[in-house]
Amino acid sequence: MNFALPNMILTDKKILEAIEKGGIVIEPFRPECLGTNSYDVHLGRYLAVYQDHALDAKRHNRINTFEIPEEGFVLQPGTLYLGVTEEYTETHNSVPFLEGKSSIGRLGIDIHATAGKGDVGFCNTWTLEISCVMPVRVYAGMPIGQLIYFLVDGDIANYYNKKQNAKYNERTDKPVESMMWRNF
């Protein structure tokens, strides 16, 4: 028998309940950042850019990391910036999705190229793949995205933070470059 279950997004009350029970962790947690069915996350203090202009999926592409100055930093079109969320999160029984805030989109900023979905068991800050269509100044601590949580149906055998080959488990407050090269 083939059937599809509806996607169930957690409401503000369900997100709070999951936090109280330890199914979701958000550090720091600020009640004013909790929306009707999402939680606002903020741009951390660090950005990074790749050292080389041409990247190679089979090798370790090194990055240069720098702190966003108090007066902000102007993103330039044609450059991929790696950012990081100020918030450390853990998700143990739901699937987190990171989406850009509409106000960020209206500035022409994309915060992820392809990696908007997290895995159950992901425990870390979120690296952002930031690009823009015109120069725009950004600031550490500004709202940058929102986490949306989807219910999981069924038992989980392979939590991300327990996988032997998980590449992004080391807790950090800095952006993390692609580890695709470890797949080869």
Domain ranges for the chain: 1-49+72-153
User: What does the pLDDT read at residue 1?
Assistant: 45
| pLDDT at 21 > cutoff 60 | yes
Least confident span in 94-98, 149-153, 163-167, 170-174: 163-167
Please check whether residue 160 is in contact with residue 166, taking contact to mean a CB–CB distance below 8 angstroms. yes
User: pTM for this structure?
Assistant: 0.91
Residue 26: phi and psi, rounded to 5, are: -135, 120
| pLDDT at 3 > cutoff 70 | no
d(CA 78, CA 73): 15
pLDDT tens readout for residues 39-74: 999 999 999 999 999 999 999 999 999 999 999 999
* Partners of residue 33 on adjacent β-strands: none
Contacts of 128 (CB under 8 A, 6+ apart): 43, 81, 82, 83, 84, 85, 98, 111, 112, 144, 145, 175
Neighbours of 37 (CB within 10 A): 15
The catalytic position among 70, 99, 129, 170 is: 129
Return the CATH number of the domain spanning residue range 1-49+72-153. Answer: 2.70.40.10
Q: How far is CA 1 from the centre of its chain?
A: 36
Please check whether residue 41 is in contact with residue 27, taking contact to mean a CB–CB distance below 8 angstroms. no
d(CA 47, CA 147): 20
Strands 94-100 and 39-42: unpaired
pLDDT tens readout for residues 65-102: 999 999 999 999 999 999 999 999 999 999 999 999 99
Q: How far is CA 117 from the centre of its chain?
A: 8
- Whether 129 is a known active-site residue: answer yes
User: What does the pLDDT read at residue 6?
Assistant: 57
Please check whether residue 112 is in contact with residue 41, taking contact to mean a CB–CB distance below 8 angstroms. no
| pLDDT at 5 > cutoff 70 | no
